[in-house]
Structure formats: structure tokens, C-alpha cells
């Protein structure tokens, strides 16, 4: 190996994801700072017939980022810039765009955009992921009229086979081919199939090092939370009033206690609207997030104490969830968009794990799924002594154009089932929910706990109409299988040869 590659790498460094349920000790762990260094790493891997993967913050509970040969941390590539207008097609020159390197953490990106007078159109409920990690696994956020994170991408740059540089965009992409130039070392590809396959590809088509996002001018939001019994919300879903309200709001979601306490299952509804400065509330504490939420979700010892408590007294779970939802009763919060959209705490991030499922966004489907979860929660408790240690979250997003998005071509409801990692039967509970939700047609989130999909390759091919195109593009962009990994293979998304390997892996239990 060349000396310059040794200087930016370590032997057999053990990488963990945020919760520690995924770990790997690759042959070599790299910290590149430039696209040229990535190209050298790729060429070295191909020379030795090894594979290359990139990782970010590790905030994924699946094995999407796991790689055994060369693993790259992208965190030293974290710059943000404005694209040069003269390189853009005329009709895109006034569009608010930023180019961000793949390793930037979303929290840092948000603050950088804020200083530029800009903001993300949408984001997930947390901000600790790297930009590329969030987009490559299909992070979606909420808002029935808002794009998922992959759908905010207008252009991406990657290092592909042979260490070559590519810039990939839709057929009607933002870049003017005449201005790009034939002597540019970065090859421009403007093709819908290639772009909508690559923007959600788990890094399986090359090492993405930069993305150009459509953003919007900085904006403020007002969040309101209120409680409602499930019986009442269920009726609103059934008669259509909730779905009509959903379309009138910028962002809307709800959380539900899957346990019946006292009179039934409690829900906390959250509405978030884009507002002007004249709509700033005058309520006490409206400029701060809920104090109880802040204390509990950010103090490590409180979360660790909850894990111990739920191990020793699992019956306390139902009332604890009920109390947590009650603490958000009749609250409001006004602030910058990225602070309002952020919905987690640092301690929760270290101890939480979840499985999430996508369904067509209809009131009838939401009712069916939530009632099934309530029944399964009771069955887990009564028959198996297993306790779900958190509320269930329900969010809604617009249709996606990314071929492997679980929101592809339809308005989608996401049902997230989180729990505290380390409580009794944690992964067993998630696997039970996976079986139930998949049988109901729920598509598991690529970045959440989803191991049951390894056994359901036929389900994946049934759910994604463009999966054949995605696989063909992956084979074309990665003919040497340099960017393939076991996650893609086990999901049945590799070539025919890779599918045969997946079958062998499943038989041996690897």
C-alpha cells in the first residue's frame, strides 16, 4: 500500500454504530479528506480485489454500512458551498441550491445554512447523521406535502469504478452540459434511471462525496402539541377529517401509547406550521422546547436508569409512556425550522433502537396497523412477558421518486416502533413487529432494524416496481463489485451471482 494511504488509515479499527448492535473490524479503516484520496483507495481496493464502503455517524440500526475490507469515514469531508451559477441551466440559476460534502453532520449543515439565510426543506427527527448516510438509507422526515431527504437532491458526485469521478443528475438536470465542458475530469451523467437509482443506493454504486440540495430561504415554525384518546383519533381517521387536516398542515404526526391505561390508549398529536414573525406566540416558554422533554432525553443517567427500571419492573412501562405523553400536553414551541423539526435528545440517541414500516397513507390503513400493534403489544406482554418500552410514532410524507424509497410513487405513512436497547427481549420484540408489519404489507426502513428482510427477498421485489432497473444500474456502475456488500446481497439486490451467495449466507445463518 502506498505511504500516503497508510497515513490516512488504520489497521483493524473496530467500528460501531450508535447503539452497538452493529460492529465490524475492517481490513483497513480510512479517513479521506479529498476526492482524489478516495479515488486512490478505490484503485487500491480493485487492485487487491477488495470491496470499499463508506460510513458516517453510524446512526443506522441495520447493516447497510457494514463492510469487511476497506471502510471509509467521510467525516473529514464536511464543506458547504454555493454552486457556480454560470454552470447551471438558465432556469435553475435562481433556485436556492447548496453543495454539501457527504461527511457533514446534519446538525452542522443546519447551522451553516442558517448563517447563509437558508434552511432544509425537510429533515428527519434527529440531526446527528451525516448527510450522505441519511440520504443513502432513505431518511424521510414528515409532512404529507414535503419531500423525503433523497428528493431534495438535485445533483451528486461520486468516485466510481477505476477511481473515476462522476456527476449524476436527472435527465433534465441542473447542470448545463455545454458549460460543464468535455475536458472536465468529472464525467456528467444526466439520466433519470441512473439518478433515481443512485440517490438511494446504500453506497452500492460508488463513494458519494458531494451532493447539491435544493433548499429554501430561512423560515420559522410554530409547533403545537395536544392529547387525544385513540378512540377519538381513530374516528377522525375513519371519517376522513384527520386526513383532511393533515393536508392543510405543513407538518403533522402523532404518537400513541400502545398500552391501554385507565380509559384507553393515549395519543399526542403534533402540528408544525411555517409562520411569519407576526405569528410569534406570547406564551411563557414558547421559545423553548418542553422542559421535561429536554431534561429526560438529554441526561444519560436518566435513560440508563429507565433501562434498569424496565428490566427490573417491566410493568412500569405502560404508565411511564403515558406520563411521557402527558408531559407534552397543550404545549407550543416557536423557533427556527431546524430546531422545531428536531425531535430527539442526545441520551435517547445512544440508547434507542427501532424498526419502522411504510404503508400507503390512508386513514383505513393507519387504523388497521395501529390496532394490530396494540393487539401485538398486549400479546407480547400477556403471553411472553415482553414489554415495548416506548410510544409508537406515526408520520406522513409525500411520494418519492427514488426507486428504492419505501415512499416511491405514493403518499406514505411511516409507523416507527422504537424501544430502549438493553431492555429485556429488545430485538425479539422488534422481530415480532417486523413479521407482523411485513405480513400487512409494511415496507421496513432501510436504515432501521430490518433483519427479517433477509428472509423476504421476494417481498422486496414485489414492493419496489423499479427494483430491476436499480439492479441493472448498480451492475453497470460497479462492474467489478467494488462497492457491493453483504447487506445488498442478503436483501437480494445484487446480481444473479450475488443472489446465489445470499441464499448460501441465509442457509448458513451468516
Give the cell for residue 47.
Answer: 487492485
Give the cell for residue 305.
Answer: 436508569
Cα separation, 325 vs 374, in Å, equals 16
Cα separation, 255 vs 270, in Å, equals 8
382-412 tens-digit pLDDT: 998 888 888 999 999 999 999 999 999 999 9
What's the pLDDT score for residue 3? 66
Give the residue carrying C-alpha cell 385513540. Answer: 230
342 contacts: CB under 8 Å, gap ≥ 6 = 123, 125, 126, 127
**Contact yes or no for 233/246 (Cβ under 8 A):** no
CATH architecture of 220-455: 3-Layer(aba) Sandwich (3.40)
The topology (CATH level 3) of 80-217 is: 3.30.465
Cα separation, 503 vs 395, in Å, equals 34
Distance of CA 354 to the CA centre of its chain: 12
Find the helix or strand (DSSP H, E) in which 490 lies. Answer: helix 486-490
What's the pLDDT score for residue 293? 54
SS3 call for 134: helix
SS3 call for 136: helix
167 contacts: CB under 8 Å, gap ≥ 6 = 155, 156, 157, 175, 180, 186, 187, 188, 189
SS3 call for 317: helix
Cα separation, 13 vs 209, in Å, equals 22
Domain 5-73, CATH among 3.40.50.1820, 3.30.43.10, 3.30.413.10, 2.160.10.10:
3.30.43.10
What's the pLDDT score for residue 116? 98
Q: Which pTM does this prediction carry? A: 0.91
What's the pLDDT score for residue 477? 97
Cβ-in-10-Å burial (0-12, 13-18, 19+) of 140 comes to: buried
Cα separation, 237 vs 258, in Å, equals 17
Q: Same topology for domains 80-217 and 220-455, yes or no?
A: no
77-121 tens-digit pLDDT: 999 999 999 999 999 999 999 999 999 999 999 999 999 999 999
Cα separation, 35 vs 79, in Å, equals 12
What's the pLDDT score for residue 7? 92
Provide the residue ranges of all domains of the chain, joining segments of one domain with +. Answer: 5-73, 80-217, 220-455
**Contact yes or no for 266/325 (Cβ under 8 A):** yes
Query: Which residues of the chain are modeled with pLDDT < 50?
Result: 295-305, 307, 346-347, 498, 501-502, 505-506, 509-510
**Contact yes or no for 221/335 (Cβ under 8 A):** yes
Amino acid at each position: 500500500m502506498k505511504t500516503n494511504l497508510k497515513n490516512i488509515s488504520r489497521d483493524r479499527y473496530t467500528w460501531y454504530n450508535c447503539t452497538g448492535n452493529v460492529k465490524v473490524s475492517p481490513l483497513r479503516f480510512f479517513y479521506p479528506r479529498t476526492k482524489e484520496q478516495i479515488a486512490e483507495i478505490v484503485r487500491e481496493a480493485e487492485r487487491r480485489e477488495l470491496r470499499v464502503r463508506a460510513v458516517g455517524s453510524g446512526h443506522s440500526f441495520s447493516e447497510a454500512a457494514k463492510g469487511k475490507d476497506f471502510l471509509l469515514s467521510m467525516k473529514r469531508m464536511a464543506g458547504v458551498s454555493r454552486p457556480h451559477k454560470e454552470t447551471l441551466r438558465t432556469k435553475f440559476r435562481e433556485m436556492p441550491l447548496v453543495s454539501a460534502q457527504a461527511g457533514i453532520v446534519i446538525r452542522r449543515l443546519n447551522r451553516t445554512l442558517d448563517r447563509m439565510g437558508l434552511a432544509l426543506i425537510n429533515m428527519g427527527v434527529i440531526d446527528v447523521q451525516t448527510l450522505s448516510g441519511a440520504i443513502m438509507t432513505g431518511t424521510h422526515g414528515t409532512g404529507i406535502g414535503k419531500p423525503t431527504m433523497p428528493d431534495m437532491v438535485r445533483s451528486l458526485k461520486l468516485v466510481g469504478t477505476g477511481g473515476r469521478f462522476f456527476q449524476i443528475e436527472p435527465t433534465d438536470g441542473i447542470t448545463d452540459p455545454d458549460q460543464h465542458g468535455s475536458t472536465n475530469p468529472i464525467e456528467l451523467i444526466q439520466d433519470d434511471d441512473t439518478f433515481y437509482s443512485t440517490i438511494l443506493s446504500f453506497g452500492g454504486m460508488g463513494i458519494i462525496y458531494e451532493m447539491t440540495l435544493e433548499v429554501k430561504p430561512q423560515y420559522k415554525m410554530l409547533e403545537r402539541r395536544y392529547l387525544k384518546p385513540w378512540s377519538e383519533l381513530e374516528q377522525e381517521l375513519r371519517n376522513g377529517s384527520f386526513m383532511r387536516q393533515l393536508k392543510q398542515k405543513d407538518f403533522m404526526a402523532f404518537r400513541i401509547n400502545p398500552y391501554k391505561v385507565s380509559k384507553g390508549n393515549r395519543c399526542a398529536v403534533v402540528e408544525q406550521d411555517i409562520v411569519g414573525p407576526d405569528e410569534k406566540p406570547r406564551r411563557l416558554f414558547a421559545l423553548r422546547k418542553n422542559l421535561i422533554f429536554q431534561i429526560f432525553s438529554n441526561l444519560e443517567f436518566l435513560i440508563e436508569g429507565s433501562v434498569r427500571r424496565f428490566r427490573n419492573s417491566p410493568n412500569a412501562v405502560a404508565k411511564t409512556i403515558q406520563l411521557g405523553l402527558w408531559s407534552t400536553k397543550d404545549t407550543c414551541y416557536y423557533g427556527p425550522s431546524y430546531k422545531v423539526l428536531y425531535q430527539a435528545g442526545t441520551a435517547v440517541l445512544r440508547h434507542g433502537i427501532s424498526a419502522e414500516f411504510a404503508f400507503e397513507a390512508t386513514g383505513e390503513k393507519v387504523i388497521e396497523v395501529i390496532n394490530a400493534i396494540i393487539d401485538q403489544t398486549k400479546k407480547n406482554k400477556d403471553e411472553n412477558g415482553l414489554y415495548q418500552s416506548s410510544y409508537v410514532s406515526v408520520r406522513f410524507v409525500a411520494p418519492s421518486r427514488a426507486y428504492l424509497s419505501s415512499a416511491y410513487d405514493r403518499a406514505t405513512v411511516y409507523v416507527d416502533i422504537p424501544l430502549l436497547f438493553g431492555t429485556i427481549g429488545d430485538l425479539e420484540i422488534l422481530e415480532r413487529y417486523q413479521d407482523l408489519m411485513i405480513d400487512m404489507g409494511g415496507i421496513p426502513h432501510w436504515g432501521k432494524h430490518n433483519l427479517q428482510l433477509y428472509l423476504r427477498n421476494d417481498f422486496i421485489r414485489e414492493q419496489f416496481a423499479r427494483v430491476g432497473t436499480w439492479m441493472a444500474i448498480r451492475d453497470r456502475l460497479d462492474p467489478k463489485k467494488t462497492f457491493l456488500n453483504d447487506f445488498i446481497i442478503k436483501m437480494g439486490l445484487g446480481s444473479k451471482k450475488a443472489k446465489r451467495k445470499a441464499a448460501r449466507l441465509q442457509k448458513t445463518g451468516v
